[in-house]
């Protein structure tokens, strides 16, 4: 196995939990650098994504979902980006020194709020386009979740009309751009004036404020016979109302975690799903990103040791994603 001098160091800084709890449970600690197996890569991280679901994981919410007993110290973080520091002997696609991004949910080797992460090589990829390291770090989980919803669950085709509910959020602002690349007409329901501006800038055919505008009136003007499909990333009364604009025979997808869970009007199919992290999906995502200018909106960046402030920021209105910068 190849090892850089950095990887030969024994310990790293990480933000880890000694027990599940509130933001105050996030503590900077010195931990062993994870060891890699034959099919894994060790990434020296420069940035990590802060997921909308991280506070839920911090409070222990993933334990039942993942089905394995958690071990402490527990390092949070589902995605990140940096440089390959070491590769396992069976890894062919990546090599030491490659600039990569990666995603892994509840990784037993530890998450991405750390200087190093060990992940299966299938969960990592060269960084597409001209993304900055922060943009690459926050991208994969939400972008792959967007693409799974659009491609696999909704089967979006060129010419389809699509509602993106929560279009200025993490998944939403990426889904909107990916849907345009797949040839859809996008009705974006964003949050606030700034969210509407972002959605318009990213190419939405129509963008409305889900927290202020008359969404149904706008939807009727956009598609008088109803919208073909919806990707939903936020729940609530407004969601149920907006979904009445989906045509009979239409379809709705939402990732597990959206609460309250959306319900569909009569004669509309609805499915909850999880984002797929696989080489095939990552290649497809990279090709779509490489096909033209693509914006990953990083609203705020915090230092690793300020992870608790980043969690606080998640509870406040923001656009796109929040990142951690790791020195």
Site for ligand NAP in 159-218 (CB under 6 A): 166, 168-172, 189-191, 210-211
Minimum distance of ligand NAP from residue 138's CB (angstroms): 9
DSSP-derived letter for residue 306 is G
State yes or no: residue 107 binds ligand NAP (CB under 6 A): no
DSSP E strand boundaries for 18-160: 27-32, 40-50, 74-75, 79-87, 99-103, 116-120, 124-126
Residues near 237 by Cβ (< 8 Å), separated by ≥ 6?
Answer: none
Q: Is 141 in the site for ligand NAP (CB under 6 A)?
A: yes
5 forms beta bridges with none
Helix or strand (DSSP H, E) at 53: none
Which residue, 34 or 170, is less far from ligand NAP as judged by CB? 170
9 vs 31: CA distance, rounded Å:
11
Site for ligand NAP in 244-303 (CB under 6 A): 255-258, 274-275
* 145's tokens: 């979740």
Should residue 57 be labelled a site residue for ligand NAP when binding is judged by CB under 6 A?
no
Residue 234 neighbours by CB distance under 10 Å: 21
User: Tokens 């949070």 appear where?
Assistant: 76
Q: Which of 115, 125, 177, 233 binds ligand NAP (CB under 6 A)?
A: 233
Under the criterion CB under 6 A, does residue 145 sit at the interface with ligand NAP? Answer: yes
Which CB sits closer to ligand NAP, 26 or 52? Answer: 52
Minimum distance between the CB of residue 88 and ligand NAP, rounded to whole angstroms? 26
Report residue 308 CA to chain centroid gap: 19
Min dist. Cβ of residue 237 to ligand NAP (A): 9
Q: Does 309 bind ligand NAP (CB under 6 A)?
A: no
User: Cβ(250)–Cβ(230) under 8 Å?
Assistant: yes
Q: How far apart are CA 140 and CA 45, in angstroms?
A: 14
Distance CA 321, CA 138 (A): 7
Nearest distance, CB of residue 72 and ligand NAP, angstroms: 23
Binding-site residue total for ligand NAP (CB under 6 A)? 27
Interaction of residue 89 with ligand NAP, rule CB under 6 A: no
Q: Which residues bind ligand NAP (CB under 6 A)?
A: 52-53, 141-142, 145, 166, 168-172, 189-191, 210-211, 233-234, 238, 255-258, 274-275, 317-318
């Amino acid at each position: 196995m190849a090892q850089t001098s950095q990887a030969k160091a024994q310990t790293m800084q990480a933000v880890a939990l000694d027990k599940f709890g509130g933001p105050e449970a996030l503590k900077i600690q010195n931990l062993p650098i994870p060891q890699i197996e034959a099919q894994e890569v060790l990434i020296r991280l420069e940035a990590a994504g802060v997921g909308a679901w991280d506070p839920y994981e911090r409070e222990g919410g993933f334990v039942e979902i993942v089905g394995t007993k958690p071990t402490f110290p527990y390092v949070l973080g589902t995605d990140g980006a940096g440089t390959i520091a070491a590769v396992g002997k069976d890894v062919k696609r990546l090599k030491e020194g490659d600039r990569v991004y990666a995603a892994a949910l509840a990784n037993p080797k530890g998450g991405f709020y750390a200087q190093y992460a060990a992940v299966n090589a299938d969960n990592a990829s060269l960084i597409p386009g001209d993304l900055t390291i922060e943009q690459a770090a926050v991208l994969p989980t939400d972008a792959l979740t967007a693409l799974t919803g659009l491609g696999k669950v909704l089967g979006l085709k060129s010419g389809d009309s699509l509602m993106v509910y929560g279009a200025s959020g993490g998944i939403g602002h990426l889904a909107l751009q990916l849907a345009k690349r797949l040839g859809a007409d996008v009705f974006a329901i964003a949050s606030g004036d700034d969210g509407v501006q972002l959605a318009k800038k990213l190419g939405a055919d129509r963008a409305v404020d889900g927290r202020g505008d008359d969404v149904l009136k706008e939807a009727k003007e956009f598609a008088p016979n109803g919208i073909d499909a919806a990707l939903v990333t936020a729940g609530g009364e407004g969601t149920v109302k907006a979904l009445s604009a989906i045509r009979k025979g239409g379809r709705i997808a939402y990732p597990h975690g959206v609460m309250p869970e959306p319900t569909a009007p009569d004669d509309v199919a609805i499915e909850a799903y999880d984002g797929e992290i696989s080489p095939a999906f990552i290649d497809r995502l990279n090709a779509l990103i490489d096909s033209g200018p693509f914006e990953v909106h990083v609203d705020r960046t915090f230092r690793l040791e300020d992870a608790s402030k980043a969690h606080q920021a998640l509870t406040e209105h923001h656009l796109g994603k929040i990142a951690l910068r790791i020195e």
